[in-house]
């Protein structure tokens, strides 16, 4: 049902999810802006902290490289490289060390065979297909009144949503590993750990927001599918 020229389901499901996503992005940027300027007592840069954690876990073969941008940090398991952004690589701050430790946590996950991260990587190809084709097929189903196309679109989007769901334990576990290492190895002082934890918690909320957004789209599809059946 349209209210004026606006789809009411869009207002009900997508707009609130978009607000949550924007809030999460603002929070992570503001939190990192704060702790990304606070120097840590040891004077360790993000790259040095990541190297320290990797070496102490027997991962000397993993390289650390610099990548342009801010908060573009990531770990590439295929290339065995952690790429740290400009705001992390050479920054001797609490925030930089926290982010770098998180990425090192992903490397450790692969090394110990952490199941959720291997599962997530295993379903990436089909999730990409689901993400790209779900809505086009669903819209075609709406246009041609094809229940089969609608159902295929919903199924593909369910698979894409599954990726977001599996991502949560992966990211939370990497942050937990990071905090345990930072504390256990004495990389950050006790009062500095709080700042690193806040940075990682704010970053984790972006993944929660991504899942909420995916669920909102899925619920909207189901409502539209149900409405189509009643026509």
Catalytic residue ranges: 103
Spell out the residues 6+ positions from residue 186 whose beta carbon is closer than 8 angstroms to its own: none
Instruction: Tell me the two tokens of residue 208.
Output: 């929660």
What is the rounded CA–CA span in Å between residue 226 and residue 214? 19
What Cα–Cα distance (Å) separates residue 24 from each residue in 18, 79, 171, 218? Answer: 10, 30, 15, 20
Contact 65, 51 (CB under 8 A): no
DSSP assignment of 133-175, as one string? HHHHHHHHHHHHT-HHHHHHHHHHHHHHHHHHHHHHHHHHHHH
Length of the chain in terms of residues written: 231
Sign of CA dihedral 220, 225, 228, 230: negative
In 45-164, the DSSP E strands lie at: 63-67, 74-76, 81-85
């Amino acid at each position: 049902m349209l209210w004026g020229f606006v789809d009411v389901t869009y207002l009900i499901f997508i707009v609130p999810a978009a607000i949550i996503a924007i809030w999460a992005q603002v929070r992570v940027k503001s939190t990192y802006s704060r702790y990304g300027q606070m120097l840590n007592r040891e004077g360790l840069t993000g790259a040095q902290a990541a190297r320290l954690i990797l070496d102490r876990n027997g991962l000397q073969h993993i390289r650390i490289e610099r990548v342009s941008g801010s908060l573009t940090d990531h770990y590439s398991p295929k290339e065995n490289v952690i790429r740290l952004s400009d705001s992390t690589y050479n920054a001797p701050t609490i925030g930089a060390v926290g982010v770098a430790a998180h990425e090192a946590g992903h490397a450790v996950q692969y090394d110990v065979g952490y199941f959720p991260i291997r599962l997530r990587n295993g379903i990436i190809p089909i999730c990409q297909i689901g993400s790209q084709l779900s809505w086009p097929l669903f819209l075609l189903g709406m246009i041609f009144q094809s229940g089969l196309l609608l159902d295929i679109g919903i199924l593909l989007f369910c698979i894409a949503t599954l990726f977001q769901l599996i991502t949560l334990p992966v990211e939370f576990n990497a942050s937990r590993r990071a905090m345990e290492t930072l504390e256990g190895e004495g990389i950050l002082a006790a009062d500095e750990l709080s700042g690193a934890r806040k940075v990682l918690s704010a970053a984790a909320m972006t993944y929660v927001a991504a899942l909420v957004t995916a669920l909102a789209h899925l619920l909207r599809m189901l409502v539209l599918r149900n409405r189509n059946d009643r026509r």
